[in-house]
Structure 1
Amino acid sequence: MRFSTISFGALLLAATTAVPAFAQDATDPPEPITVSGSVALASDYRFRGVSQTNKEFAVQGGATIAHESGLYAGFWGSNLAGWGTFGGANLELDLYGGYKVPIGDGGALDVGLTWYMYPGGADTTDFAEPYVKLSGTTGPVSLTAAFFYAPQQEALGNVFFTGADAVAGIPNDPGDKEDNIYLSGDAVAAIPTTPVSLRAHIGYSDGNPGLGPNGTSIAPTGNYWDWTLGADVAISGFTLGVSYIDTDISEADGAYLAPNFTKDGTDPIADATIVVSLTAAF
């Protein structure tokens, strides 16, 4: 699901350090429409601290088209695995759009919406999530605070109370609709005269404590924290990222969601991990 912590900093750094052969001359006026994008290979896809690829590799990519007015739209995709069955192609495809306007001295307000899609899967697994982000800089540090709110939708419902119920395929509360809130803060600090940036992320989820219609959840235990500490190195148009990712979801807290919330039935998919990613931006 988009805004994954495995690549937020890497994509941000890559977007600002891409091969300069494509950059405009400083004297040229800015183009009214710009297109940017990236492709990435990561050792895991962690969304809000939880693996979406069964703790295996992920191939991801997307593109954004932006107008000088501040309007933008784009897409992002990744392979999926685990969590029971995503259905169809086991692929996530996110469509997003919004409006970003500068405020203050170097700050920006970004308001938009992401539509999460799972091609070939059940229609009830798709959902919409509006967001508001406020960003700014202080010296070499870029700061972003964000609020994501997904209104009541069946994809977020407490359809299966336990992982065993999901495996049995018998919904406890079919058609249930719930909402979800996610609050996050991110900081990226460029180290002067080096290609290195350090980053940190913290997030808080508030949603339903069960499983949705496809046996997954964007807030598995209802309320939990996730955090990331990482570093990115820009090398010849690529960005190598290393992240330490963890949550406060204990094995006991998530036991009722097994086997869905585990790899191979025993290995929790929200435990601490190191994720390595390689990103190329254009």
Structure 2
Amino acid sequence: MNRTLIPAALPAVFAALFTPAASQAQTASPSVSIEATTDLRERGLSWSGGKAAMSAEATLPVSPAVTVDLGAATLRDSARHGGADIGLTLSPEIALFSTGGWTLSAGAKGHVFVGASGLSYAEATSTLAYAIGPAQLAFGASFAPSQKAIGGSDLYLEGNAAIGVPGTALTLYGGGGYSTGSTRDTALAAERVRRLRPDGSYWDYYVGAEHQMDRLALGLRYTGTSIDQDRVAAISDRRYLDRHTGSRISAYLRFTP
């Protein structure tokens, strides 16, 4: 589920983004990865209720410029998504241009929450990426138009970086983002907007390290947010809230067949 539900796979995502479109025409092939993590986190928030989770992702090249990502993750009955058991994503993306190390792409992403009613939503995405030597940079924007499922609209701006340590199988990465948006003027909307923005607009950040071992990758990642934990805890209506919005260190193991 890539950038939304599998942030631990960022180094692999960077590798796909920084492959020029012309090269993709010769080398692109379907890929699959399976990951186990101690806590599935997205934009600094836990999507698995602070519990261990499994996820899987497949990337299907449709043409030299078009790919489709499919993702699935166990959400462990997380309150954030109404007790959903499974989260699914469908993400078509098109590379608009690739030149001089820069790649610009645009796409869409649909989120479906199995086991929860009326909480699925969609967003438009765009990414500008740049590669220089062993370092990669990516800047992205995701916008979910006003939808009942999320209580209004949601905008997420982010910056990410990764670098492979020369002479080793180690990749260091980090980044952050800012979440903001509007809220519909209803009680239900005010409740549902807390799914993605528990304390209103907020910042998130992360740093991590990943060690590649043939088809296995072992990683450790720290995430944090600017969310006021005490203020969120004081909200009486907790239908879509949980306490897993603060700092956390999580580990993951990814297998690529």
Structure with greater strand share of residues = 2
Question: Cα gap change, 1:116/1:98 in structure 2, threshold over 3 Å: closer, same or farther?
Answer: same
Normalization by structure 1: what TM-score? 0.78
Aligned residues: 241
Once the two structures are superposed, residues 46-95 of structure 1 have per-residue CA deviations (whole angstroms, 9 ceiling, x without a partner) of 11101111111010001011134311112101111354374575110011
Q: Which residue number in structure 2 is paired with residue 30 of structure 1?
A: 26
Question: Cα gap change, 1:249/1:98 in structure 2, threshold over 3 Å: closer, same or farther?
Answer: same
Q: Which residue number in structure 1 is paired with residue 247 of structure 2?
A: 272
Asked whether 1:238 is paired with 2:216, we answer: yes
In the TM superposition, what are the counterparts of 1:1-282 in structure 2 within 5 Å? 2-3=2-3, 4=5, 6-12=7-13, 30=26, 34-81=29-76, 83-84=78-79, 86=81, 90-122=85-117, 124-157=118-151, 178-208=152-182, 210-212=190-192, 217-257=195-235, 259=238, 260-262=240-242, 268-282=243-257
RMSD of aligned alpha carbons: 2.5
What is the CA-CA distance between 1:15 and the residue it aligns to? 7.3
Opposite residue 261 of structure 1, the aligned amino acid is L
Normalization by structure 2: what TM-score? 0.85
CA–CA distance in 2 between the matches of 1:5 and 1:253? Answer: 28
Unaligned segments of structure 2, at least 5 residues: 18-24, 184-189
Q: Deviation above 3 Å: which 4+ runs of structure 1? A: 10-16, 85-89, 256-260
CA–CA distance in 2 between the matches of 1:217 and 1:74? Answer: 24
Identity of aligned residues (%): 25
CA–CA distance in 2 between the matches of 1:88 and 1:271? Answer: 20
CA–CA distance in 2 between the matches of 1:55 and 1:190? Answer: 29
Equivalent pair of 2:199/2:228 in contact (CA under 8 Å): no
CA–CA distance in 1 between the matches of 2:172 and 2:79? Answer: 35
Once the two structures are superposed, residues 196-220 of structure 1 have per-residue CA deviations (whole angstroms, 9 ceiling, x without a partner) of 01001101000357431xx861122
Higher relative contact order (CA closer than 8 Å, sequence separation 6+): 1
Rg: which structure is higher?
1
Unaligned segments of structure 1, at least 5 residues: 17-28, 158-177, 263-267
Question: Cα gap change, 1:248/1:136 in structure 2, threshold over 3 Å: closer, same or farther?
Answer: same
Opposite residue 207 of structure 1, the aligned amino acid is G
